């Protein structure tokens, strides 16, 4: 597999380089130059397989020559040891629950695979790595859990002590072993700034710091697998399917774009967003403007005023957008609008959808999943298109109890993974946001 940078100013990279580096040297995002195609026969053969086997079959073709099949099979079975339910709403509508991983967020799908692939390549070269990541909550816990217990990789998670919920904090602090949780006396932006300064500090280069952030190609590719999975379970080739994807940074929906490029017959991709509607406006007008600062909505993991993966979407459709969001070449807007719709959903509609699904179907959803569902309902109403559709639930309702109780009056029952954390001992270090103190801490901890 060869990868190019969306800024078109960097050399081609191998998968391994793109995975370990994350960002291309020209600050662009990596995308595969070519992807394999899955035939009708191959798609139909997935029908009776379980998720980890489907993941293995897809990845062994995508990563052909990059990793041996025995190691890959071991990795996919180890990473995907939880259920992926497809819950029926009616015979045209399914909810794919991506909330059964160890941190009850769909981010587990990407983070667990990226962590294991990194470990595979590091072991080959007998190298080690330190993942330094700043988090406002969910990404940090998914990353920490994904790397937990792996050799050769240490993780340091910086989080703003007063800005995360008890449950979020406990998901990071109860792990220990190779995971260090650093509670910072500051805001998320301070944590982010400290991490950035450390990455740029020559005196820390020998520590091999890496960010594992959401733009890594090793997180994107695994996010295409569940689109094969739902298709294989619900359809027979060549019938088409619609996906509605609650979107913030658009990594999840880019996974769907890749799945379509690899041959999954997807009629339309709905990128459902909250009141941060910069993408729907762009698709409609061809003009792009970031929303700064982003709007605060109930689906807070989607409060993104400039999605980092938009550069990738534009690249797939023949355009160029740089890391600042400037478009130097417009993509093929007609083709883009033919394949993809983006629907903005208000907080009021989000709440009403949570309530409606609880009352009408006895189905419990949280704000992000509700945006996906409402986006689909709006699309159906405006187009009359009743093709079979799957909407994604990206977090467990128990991760957003206040919002769910406000809409339904019922406190959602936490999954075992969240309950287990409650009673465990917490380990964390405390620091203020002084860079010199942070640097001294890193050296003492890691040298
Ligand atoms: C991160 C996240 C999203 C948004 O995913 P993107 O890939 O950034 O579009 C949606 N829902 C939840 C619960 C998330 O944590």
The residue contributing the CA closest to ligand 1 atom 8 is: 249
Low-confidence ranges of the chain (pLDDT < 50): none
Task: Determine phi and psi for 20, rounding to 5 degrees.
Answer: -75, -35
What pLDDT is recorded for position 175?
Answer: 92
- Beta carbons within 8 Å of 433's beta carbon, 6+ residues apart: 184, 185, 186, 190, 191, 193, 194
Measured from the CA of 252, which atom of ligand 1 is nearest?
7
Output the pTM of the full model.
0.94
Do residues 242 and 388 make contact, with C-beta atoms less than 8 angstroms apart? yes
For the Cβ of 107 lying below 6 angstroms from any atom of ligand 1, the answer is: yes
d(CA 442, CA 447): 8
Determine the residue of 368, 391, 396, 399 to mutate for testing ligand 1's pocket, defined as the one with the most ligand atoms within 8 A of the Cβ atom.
368
- Beta carbons within 8 Å of 134's beta carbon, 6+ residues apart: 140, 157, 158, 159, 188, 191, 192, 194, 195
The residue contributing the CA closest to ligand 1 atom 2 is: 301
What pLDDT is recorded for position 134?
Answer: 87
- Beta carbons within 8 Å of 110's beta carbon, 6+ residues apart: 214, 218, 219, 220, 222, 223, 251
Measured from the CA of 399, which atom of ligand 1 is nearest?
13
Report the candidate in 102, 119, 111, 109 with the shortest Cα–Cα distance to residue 135: 111
d(CA 75, CA 404): 35
d(CA 313, CA 89): 30
Question: How close is the Cα of 392 to the center of ligand 1, in Å?
Answer: 10
Q: Is 274 left (phi over 0), alpha (psi -120 to 50) or beta?
A: beta
For the Cβ of 301 lying below 6 angstroms from any atom of ligand 1, the answer is: yes
d(CA 18, CA 217): 7
Do residues 27 and 323 make contact, with C-beta atoms less than 8 angstroms apart? yes
The count of C-alpha atoms lying within 13 angstroms of the C-alpha of 133, restricted to the half-sphere facing its C-beta, is 30
Task: Determine phi and psi for 381, rounding to 5 degrees.
Answer: -65, -40
- Beta carbons within 8 Å of 233's beta carbon, 6+ residues apart: 47, 86
CATH number of 85-104+219-408: 3.40.50.1100
- Beta carbons within 8 Å of 370's beta carbon, 6+ residues apart: 299, 345, 350, 351, 353, 354, 357
Question: How close is the Cα of 188 to the center of ligand 1, in Å?
Answer: 18
What pLDDT is recorded for position 33?
Answer: 97
What pLDDT is recorded for position 213?
Answer: 76
* Cα-based torsion angle of the residue sequence 141, 145, 151, 154 in order, rounded to the nearest 10 degrees: 10
The count of C-alpha atoms lying within 13 angstroms of the C-alpha of 143, restricted to the half-sphere facing its C-beta, is 29
Q: What does the block give as tokens for 194?
A: 């400290």
Q: What does the block give as tokens for 274?
A: 């909250």
Determine the residue of 249, 365, 418 to mutate for testing ligand 1's pocket, defined as the one with the most ligand atoms within 8 A of the Cβ atom.
249
Q: Tens of pLDDT along 326-344?
A: 999 999 999 999 999 999 9
Question: How close is the Cα of 251 to the center of ligand 1, in Å?
Answer: 8
What pLDDT is recorded for position 164?
Answer: 83
Q: Tens of pLDDT along 81-140?
A: 999 999 999 999 999 999 999 999 999 999 999 999 999 999 999 998 999 988 877 788
């Amino acid at each position: 597999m060869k990868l190019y940078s969306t800024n078109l100013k960097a050399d081609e990279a191998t998968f391994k380089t793109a995975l370990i580096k994350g960002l291309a040297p020209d600050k662009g995002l990596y995308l595969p130059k070519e992807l394999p195609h899955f035939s009708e026969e191959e798609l139909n053969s997935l029908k009776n397989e379980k998720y980890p086997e489907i993941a293995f079959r897809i990845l062994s073709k995508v990563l052909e020559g990059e990793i041996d099949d025995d190691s890959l099979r071991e990795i996919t079975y180890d990473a995907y040891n939880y259920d992926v339910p497809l819950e029926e709403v009616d015979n045209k509508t399914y909810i794919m629950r991506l909330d059964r991983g160890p941190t009850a967020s769909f981010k587990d799908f990407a983070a667990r695979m990226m962590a294991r692939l990194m470990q595979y390549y590091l072991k080959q070269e007998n190298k080690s790595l330190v993942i330094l990541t700043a988090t406002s909550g969910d990404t940090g816990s998914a990353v920490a859990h994904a790397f937990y217990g792996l050799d050769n990789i240490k993780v340091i998670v910086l989080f703003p002590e007063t800005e995360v919920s008890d449950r979020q904090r406990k998901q990071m602090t109860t792990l220990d072993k190779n995971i260090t949780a650093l509670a910072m006396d500051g805001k998320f932006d301070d944590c982010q700034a400290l991490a950035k300064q450390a990455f740029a500090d020559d005196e820390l280069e020998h520590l091999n710091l890496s960010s594992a952030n959401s733009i890594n190609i090793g997180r994107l590719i695994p996010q295409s697998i569940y689109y094969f999975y739902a298709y294989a379970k619900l359809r027979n080739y060549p019938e088409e399917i619609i996906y509605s994807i609650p979107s913030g940074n658009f990594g999840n929906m880019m996974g769907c774009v890749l799945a379509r490029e690899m041959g999954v017959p997807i009629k339309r991709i709905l990128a459902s967003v909250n009141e941060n509607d910069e993408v729907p406006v762009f698709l409609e007008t061809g003009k792009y403007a970031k929303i700064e600062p982003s709007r605060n909505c109930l689906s807070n993991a989607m409060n993104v005023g400039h999605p980092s993966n938009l550069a990738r979407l534009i690249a797939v459709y023949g355009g160029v957008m740089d890391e600042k969001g400037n478009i130097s070449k417009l993509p093929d807007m007609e083709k883009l609008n033919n394949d993809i719709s983006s629907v903005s959903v208000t907080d009021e509609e989000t709440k009403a959808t949570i309530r409606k699904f609880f009352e009408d179907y006895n189905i419990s959803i949280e704000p992000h999943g509700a945006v996906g569902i409402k986006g689909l309902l709006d699309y159906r109403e405006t187009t009359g298109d009743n093709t079979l559709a799957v909407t994604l639930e990206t977090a467990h309702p128990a991760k957003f109890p206040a919002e769910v109780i406000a809409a339904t009056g019922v406190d959602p029952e936490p999954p075992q993974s969240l309950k287990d954390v409650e009673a465990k001992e917490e380990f964390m270090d405390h620091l203020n946001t002084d860079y010199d103190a942070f640097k001294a801490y890193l050296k003492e901890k890691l040298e």
